Amino acid sequence: MTPHEQARSIAERLPDPLPTDHRFVVAVAGPPAAGKSTLATALVDELDGRAGLLAMDGFHFDDAILDARGHRKRKGAPHTFDVASYASTLGVLRSQPAIELAAPVYDRSLGLSRNCASLVTSTHRILVTEGNYLLLDEAPWSSLHDLFDLTVWIDVPLPVVEARIRQRWQNAEFDAAEITRRTEENDLPNARLVHERSATADVVVLA
């Protein structure tokens, strides 16, 4: 199935009518390079103006913070995200369906988050959120689970994940040594973690 076909199938699972007391939150999770952003964007498109998007990657700690903490080489690991700010933003958007709120977006070309780069408006009765660790069954990520109304897991074999990760860093024009370091010392351990420690999703799609 294409991402848009998968999105259409997910959209069919949404309740009709939608709840009136909160935004309906769809969480899309999976390992790095699984296609989470692609599927989340396709789902927002499929919902045709009814859905806003909140990406977990927008809540990366800035490199200055990671440098100060000695975490720069593990950027993208669970402890390199501001989970509290993500949870707060998600909680407000879910509990206040009429609120308009700007959210950060991670810019891969710059390697940093751009503040107030995405807008969730009062017309968005559904919120699609995506990220590696949304279903991770360990604190503090597990505290998010009650905020999700429908969860989606993108199932990708680890060898495919590895190939996609290496291609991603090759496209970013890193040399072979740096590609190997980033893949084997950071991205693959993160992928194994979410494969082994994520809660069961309501919907599983293959990619």
Assign residue 87 the CATH number of its domain.
3.40.50.300
- How do residues 141-153 score in pLDDT, each as one tens digit? 999 999 999 999 9
Q: Which pLDDT value is given to residue 111?
A: 87
Helices (H), the chain: 3-11, 36-46, 63-69, 83-95, 158-171, 176-182, 188-197
- How do residues 112-129 score in pLDDT, each as one tens digit? 999 999 999 999 999 999
Percent of the chain with pLDDT over 90: 96
Indicate the range of 23-27, 55-59, 107-111 predicted with least confidence. 107-111
Cα–Cα distance, 207 to 189 (Å, whole number) = 20
Among residues 25, 53, 57, 50, the alpha carbon closest in space to that of 39 is found at 53
Please give the backbone phi and psi of residue 186, each rounded to the nearest 5 degrees, phi first.
Answer: -135, -65
Contact predicate 113/106, CB 8 Å: yes
Q: Which pLDDT value is given to residue 207?
A: 81
Rounded (to 5) percent helix, strand, coil in the chain: 45, 25, 30
pTM of the model: 0.95
Q: How confident is the model at residue 20 (pLDDT cuts 50, 70, 90)?
A: very high
Domain that includes residue 42, residue range: 3-206
Contacts of 108 (CB under 8 A, 6+ apart): 172
Number of domains the chain is built from:
1
